[in-house]
Amino acid sequence: MINKLLIANRGEIACRVIKTAIAQGIKTVAVYSDADRNALHVKMADEAIYLGPSPSKESYLKSHVIIEKAKQLGVDAIHPGYGFLSENAEFAKLCAKNDIIFVGPPASAIEAMGSKSAAKHIMEKAGVPLVPGYHGDDQDESVLKAAADDMGYPVLLKAAAGGGGKGMRQVWSEKDFSQALNAAKRESMASFGDDHMLVEKYLTRPRHVEIQVFCDTHGNGVYLFERDCSVQRRHQKIIEEAPAPNMSAHVREKMGEAAILAAKAINYVGAGTVEFLLDEDDSFYFMEMNTRLQVEHPVTEMITREDLVLWQLIIAEGKPLPKAQNALTLTGHAFEARIYAEDPKNEFLPSTGTLRLLHAPEENDVVRVDTGVEQGDEVSVFYDPMIAKLVVWGENREVALKHLTSALGEYYIDGVSTNIDFLKRVASHPSFVSAELTTTFVEKHHDTLF
């Protein structure tokens, strides 16, 4: 039983997890850095632990300090949120060693998905469809180039250790290969301390569709349908939605089953997301599996009316999945817009400062705002500058989009630059309205969006 939960995170996701814990009568422990002394997640929790100075390395990533304090306070379980320690296999092991439940998958599953090339080997064996490409160990330039020449250009070079779109390069012709490879390797080495590369066929008009899966410790797995996260900028998601527009029930089922197959291949437990690229001809390919709760999980909660954090806690306690596949239903349509303190006029650079005015749309049955800040708070240089996630639901896509547009119109923020006007332009763009979504949406409509 989980009686006391520590949330090893900050911001909106820490607040989100605390809400469910409170509703379940679970005592909560927050952690904080210097910059977060007065943060909302600290105020919401029953107890709070000071970790150290503001930089993440000196606070939110201090796994040993977190474990020590958790033990002192009699914590039963730790929820890592997303980012920080959430996909750190060593941290999951450290929890287990100290008899604390890690609300997430076993360390072995995190490790298996930690490298894109290792993950592809496992998925290939399990029969999960992969993007055509090379994910071998031989990293000789001639081998990588031969693989690219064979499959034909364009190709995408990807860092095996990659994440957040780093260490990726498109290559459009043979003559550009060498230079692109060196650039991708350099970036990968700088970001991840490793320059192992994959070569993939570059799909020119794919959609990013991901499946939410849950597995329990009794060998059961279900999928809670999909999210379309095609609208991206530099591989960063901007507006996500569920279900994926125009996806047939047949493709949904096939992709859901492939996701379960992927999860079972690594003996997965807990909440996970299997990301696929969906091509124009409805073929889909495994990209990677994220072994944590995703930023965009609320759109799934809106269309399934399930509390995904509650599911995580139930599974972490060793109980079976709350629902079987045939008991899960999909109702209506949901969007999530990520409200960021950033400057679209200046390369989307983070904008720091005091939130002198923070007026969010009122929450109701169809509008939900997940945030970790209040008016007067500081958006600092230390962390991700997300201010909030605006989530809306409607009985169909058209209605949901109306709610999104009007809710965006109710946002007033002063003190930092935000992407709200940019989000409004995306949401009202004729191609977005008619759901012509591909991962190149922003690039393609650059002139009308900026």
Shortest Å, Cβ 436 to ligand ADP: 16
Considering only residues 375 through 434, tell me which ones interact with ligand ADP, judged by CB under 6 A.
none
User: Would you state the structure tokens that stand for residue 56, as one six-digit string?
Assistant: 């993440």
Q: Please, are residues 201 and 131 in contact by the beta-carbon 8 Å criterion?
A: yes
Shortest Å, Cβ 214 to ligand ADP: 20
Q: Which is nearer to ligand ADP, 233 or 403 (CB)?
A: 233
Considering only residues 125 through 144, tell me which ones interact with ligand ADP, judged by CB under 6 A.
131
Shortest Å, Cβ 235 to ligand ADP: 4
Residue (of 37, 57, 99) closest to 378 by Cα position: 37
Q: What are phi and psi of 260, to 5 degrees?
A: -65, -40
Binding of ligand ADP by 206 (CB under 6 A): yes
Binding of ligand ADP by 203 (CB under 6 A): yes
Shortest Å, Cβ 426 to ligand ADP: 16
Which one-letter DSSP state was computed for residue 153?
Answer: S
Residue labelled with tokens 């609300």: 103
Shortest Å, Cβ 402 to ligand ADP: 27
Q: Which is nearer to ligand ADP, 9 or 273 (CB)?
A: 273
Residue (of 66, 60, 67, 73) closest to 99 by Cα position: 67
> What are 6's strand-pairing partners?
29, 78
* CA–CA distances in Å: residue 321 to residues 20, 39, 221, 316, 331: 17, 34, 8, 10, 20
For every residue of 241-284, which 3-state class applies, written as one string?
EECCCCCCHHHHHHHHHHHHHHHHHCCCCEEEEEEEEECCCCCE
Q: Which is nearer to ligand ADP, 278 or 334 (CB)?
A: 278
**Integer Cα distance of 187 and 251 in angstroms:** 36
Shortest Å, Cβ 292 to ligand ADP: 13
Q: Binding marks (x or -) toward ligand ADP, 231..260, rule CB under 6 A?
A: -x--x-------------------------
CB 170: neighbour CB atoms within 10 A? 14
Binding of ligand ADP by 275 (CB under 6 A): yes
Binding of ligand ADP by 288 (CB under 6 A): yes
Q: Which is nearer to ligand ADP, 232 or 300 (CB)?
A: 232
Q: Which is it for strands 378-379 and 353-354: parallel, antiparallel or unpaired?
A: antiparallel
Catalytic machinery residues: 292
| Residue from 53, 74, 152, 165 binding ligand ADP (CB under 6 A) | 165
Binding of ligand ADP by 226 (CB under 6 A): no
Size of residue set near ligand ADP by CB under 6 A:
19
- Interface residues with ligand ADP (CB under 6 A)? 131, 156, 162-165, 200-203, 206, 208, 232, 235, 275, 277, 287-288, 439
